[in-house]
């Protein structure tokens, strides 16, 4: 019978990466003790005789722990030691030949670097596909073949949902980016999730492979457990939503989170002052050197592409990765994303390297991220009336990126992919000042920080950040738009400039009565 394989922690060997003084078989056994569930023996430069000897000793240890062994490329070696099966690349023996030689009782995996290769493997009877390279790797030159999490996700989307084929990703996967990979490589519509991750250097190069494997195993199990739990409120109705929004807003001064902002330099002053008015503390840090030391101390990170430069982009890449690693809410404001090719490429690069907690943008920005052309962009602004079906747009992007999506406009739409609300607050004067959207991102980041700080989560090891950020995003939008409505009625407001000052004043004076009285929230 064909061996049943748990692909969760898939170790690919590489004896050349062993740390000095570490024996290969010793390292292998320790990794199996730590939780490796399947091993692929890869020996690209070893002659046949030595390969068989290494393979047999590897199989003996794998058998001791009841862990299946696969051989990379060499069907003859796999037959010689009678292991569980083989893994073949695109330049190795064709799948049909491998199946003919090995028979139906052996497991065969195939590398897939694009959709066509994956479908061919599926239709050809492969048991699993190795998707990659997701990131750069020490073991292969994949400079021109890196697909990132979006590329891996597109391959999953192309597979037949009824097919029993299993999926593993490979390429630069480590404990520091594992949750990002698991979170980003999925296919919501076909309900396909990864069956495992293939790891090389994280385990092989470790002086403590047992601990390295155990950590990876724990993260995978925690992620899968966290997928069963949603942050849905006990009662999902307008009154409970507004009540929760007030709880978050009211808690800001008490929690006084530090909000890091890689801000639009045009609006940075307003963003900082709005943060203070809401009761939090701003830090405007957008250089690479600040990120590692600063990130553990912040409540949330806001990344705003308004005036992005090459230097700032590098800080955004690093800061976002540290936020995912340290489980800090990460709010992404893709300002004018569709306006230039540089901005489009920058947005894609950022989303390939980290996972946002919330994406906030106007209709043109959300449309550009979604690959839609229904709404045009003019600089930083949307053109026209917006999407005919905005609910579908925000739900689809939220499901694709597995985050909260906030689309601002005359009406604001907020979705986590399942729940969606429309907010019809605000005032026309918001459209007459620079940066009202940027300040909205600030408020959302502040509320997400509070949600993260005040939420108890027993499964936080499997999440990129804790908290009900759907409710936090609603709170942030309501705080600013209701403050705008109140400010617009003040006697001292005579136009956009006086409105700006009054708006920030009113952010500091929000109260529960006004929030409940003025909130215009609709379930969609």
Say whether 424 sits in a helix, a strand or coil. Answer: coil
Q: Do 177 and 299 sit in the same domain of this protein? A: no
Does 310 score more than 70 pLDDT? yes
Domain housing 54: 9-226
Residue 317 placed within a domain: yes
With pLDDT > 70 as the criterion, what percentage of the chain qualifies?
Answer: 94
pLDDT (0 to 100) of residue 142: 57
Query: What does the angle CA 392 – CA 397 – CA 401 come to, to the nearest 5 degrees?
Result: 155
Q: How far apart are CA 335 and CA 40, in angstroms?
A: 44
Mean pLDDT (whole number) for 460-470: 90
pLDDT (0 to 100) of residue 432: 95
Does 356 score more than 80 pLDDT? yes
CB count within 10 Å of CB 388 equals 9
Residue 70 placed within a domain: yes
User: Could you tell me the CA-to-CA distances from 197 to 2, 9, 165 in Å, in that order?
Assistant: 21, 6, 15
pLDDT digits (tens, 9 = 90+) for 405-462: 999 999 999 999 999 999 999 999 999 999 999 999 999 999 999 999 998 766 678 8
232 or 439: which leads in pLDDT: 439
Q: How far apart are CA 146 and CA 152, in angstroms?
A: 10
- Number of compact structural domains in the chain: 2
Annotated catalytic residue: which of 62, 83, 438, 448?
438
pLDDT (0 to 100) of residue 227: 81
Q: Is residue 190 very low, low, confident or very high in pLDDT (cuts 50, 70, 90)?
A: low
Q: Do 217 and 331 sit in the same domain of this protein? A: no
Q: Do 391 and 471 sit in the same domain of this protein? A: yes
Residue 240 placed within a domain: no
pLDDT (0 to 100) of residue 502: 98
Tell me the pTM: 0.91
Mean pLDDT (whole number) for 470-499: 97
How far is C-alpha 163 from the chain's CA centre?
26
CATH code, domain with 182? 3.20.20.70
% helix / strand / coil in the chain, to the nearest 5?
Answer: 50, 15, 35
Question: What DSSP string describes 166-213?
Answer: EEEE-SS--HHHHHHHHHHSEETTTTEE-SEEEESHHHHT-S-HHHHH
Q: Do 281 and 185 sit in the same domain of this protein? A: no
Indicate the average pLDDT of the chain. Answer: 93
Does 104 score more than 70 pLDDT? yes
pLDDT digits (tens, 9 = 90+) for 106-144: 999 999 999 999 999 999 999 999 999 999 876 665 556
pLDDT digits (tens, 9 = 90+) for 11-66: 999 999 999 999 999 999 999 999 999 999 999 999 999 999 999 999 999 999 99
Residue 82 placed within a domain: yes
Q: Is residue 295 very low, low, confident or very high in pLDDT (cuts 50, 70, 90)?
A: very high
* CB neighbour list of residue 392: distance below 8 Å, 6 or more residues apart: none
Query: What does the angle CA 3 – CA 122 – CA 93 come to, to the nearest 5 degrees?
Result: 75
Task: Please choose, from the candidates 99, 67, 101, the residue with its C-alpha nearest in 3D space to the C-alpha of residue 84.
Answer: 67
pLDDT (0 to 100) of residue 233: 47
pLDDT (0 to 100) of residue 140: 64
Q: Do 151 and 276 sit in the same domain of this protein? A: no
Residue 468 placed within a domain: yes
CATH code, domain with 328? 3.40.1190.20
Q: Do 214 and 268 sit in the same domain of this protein? A: no
Task: Please choose, from the candidates 100, 50, 59, the residue with its C-alpha nearest in 3D space to the C-alpha of residue 78.
Answer: 59
Q: Do 212 and 182 sit in the same domain of this protein? A: yes
Q: Do 161 and 307 sit in the same domain of this protein? A: no
Residue 4 placed within a domain: no
Residue 328 placed within a domain: yes
Q: Do 397 and 284 sit in the same domain of this protein? A: yes
CB count within 10 Å of CB 33 equals 13
193, 226, 259: which is the final residue of a domain?
226
Annotated catalytic, 447?
A: no
Residue 235 placed within a domain: no
Q: Do 114 and 260 sit in the same domain of this protein? A: no
CB 262 within 8 A of CB 302: yes
Among 132-146, 177-191, 301-315, the range scoring the smallest mean pLDDT is 132-146
Q: Do 189 and 273 sit in the same domain of this protein? A: no
């Amino acid at each position: 019978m064909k061996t049943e394989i748990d692909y969760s922690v898939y170790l690919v060997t590489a004896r050349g990466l062993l740390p000095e003084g570490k024996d290969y078989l010793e390292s292998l056994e320790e990794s199996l003790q730590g939780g490796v569930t399947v091993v692929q023996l890869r020996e690209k430069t070893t002659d046949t005789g030595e390969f068989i000897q290494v393979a047999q000793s590897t199989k003996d240890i794998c058998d001791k722990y009841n862990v299946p062994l696969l051989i990379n490329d060499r069907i003859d070696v796999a037959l010689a030691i009678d292991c569980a099966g083989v893994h073949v690349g695109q330049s190795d023996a064709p799948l049909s030949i491998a199946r003919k030689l090995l028979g139906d009782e052996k497991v065969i995996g195939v590398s897939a670097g694009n959709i066509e290769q994956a479908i061919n493997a599926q239709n050809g009877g492969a048991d699993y596909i190795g998707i990659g390279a997701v990131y750069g790797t020490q073991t292969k030159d994949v400079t021109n073949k890196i697909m990132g999490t979006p590329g891996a996700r597109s391959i999953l989307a192309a597979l037949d949902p009824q097919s029993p084929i299993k999926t593993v990703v490979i390429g630069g996967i480590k404990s520091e980016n594992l949750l990002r990979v698991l979170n980003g490589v999925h296919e919501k519509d076909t309900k396909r999730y990864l069956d495992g991750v293939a790891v090389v250097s994280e385990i092989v190069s470790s002086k403590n492979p047992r601990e390295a494997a155990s950590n990876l195993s724990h993260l995978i199990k925690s992620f899968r457990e966290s997928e069963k739990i949603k942050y849905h409120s006990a009662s999902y109705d307008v009154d409970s939503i507004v009540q929760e929004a007030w709880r978050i807003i009211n808690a800001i001064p008490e929690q006084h989170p530090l909000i890091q902002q890689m801000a639009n330099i045009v609006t940075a002053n307003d963003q900082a002052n709005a943060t203070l008015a809401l009761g939090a503390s701003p830090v405007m840090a957008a250089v690479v050197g600040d990120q590692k030391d600063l990130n553990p101390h912040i409540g949330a990170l806001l990344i705003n592409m308004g005036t992005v430069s090459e230097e700032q982009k590098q800080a955004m890449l690093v800061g976002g990765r540290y936020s995912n690693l340290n489980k800090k809410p990460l709010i992404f404001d893709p300002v004018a994303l569709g306006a230039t090719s540089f901005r489009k490429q920058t947005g894609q690069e950022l989303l390939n390297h980290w996972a946002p907690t919330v994406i906030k943008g106007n209709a043109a920005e959300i449309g550009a991220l979604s690959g839609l052309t229904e709404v045009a962009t003019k600089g930083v602004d949307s053109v026209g009336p917006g999407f005919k079906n905005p609910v579908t747009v925000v739900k689809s992007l939220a499901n694709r990126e597995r985050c909260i999506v906030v689309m601002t406009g005359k009406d604001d739409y907020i979705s986590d992919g399942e729940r969606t609300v429309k907010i019809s607050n605000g005032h026309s004067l918001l459209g007459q000042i620079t940066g009202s959207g940027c300040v909205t991102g600030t408020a959302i980041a502040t509320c997400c920080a509070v949600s993260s700080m005040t939420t108890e989560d027993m499964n936080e090891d499997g999440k990129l950040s804790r908290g009900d950020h759907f409710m936090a995003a609603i709170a942030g939008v309501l705080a600013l738009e209701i403050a705008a409505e109140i400010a617009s009625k003040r006697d001292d407001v005579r136009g956009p400039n006086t409105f700006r000052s009054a708006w920030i004043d009113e952010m500091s004076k929000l109260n529960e009565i006004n929030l409940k009285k003025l909130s215009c929230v609709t379930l969609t």
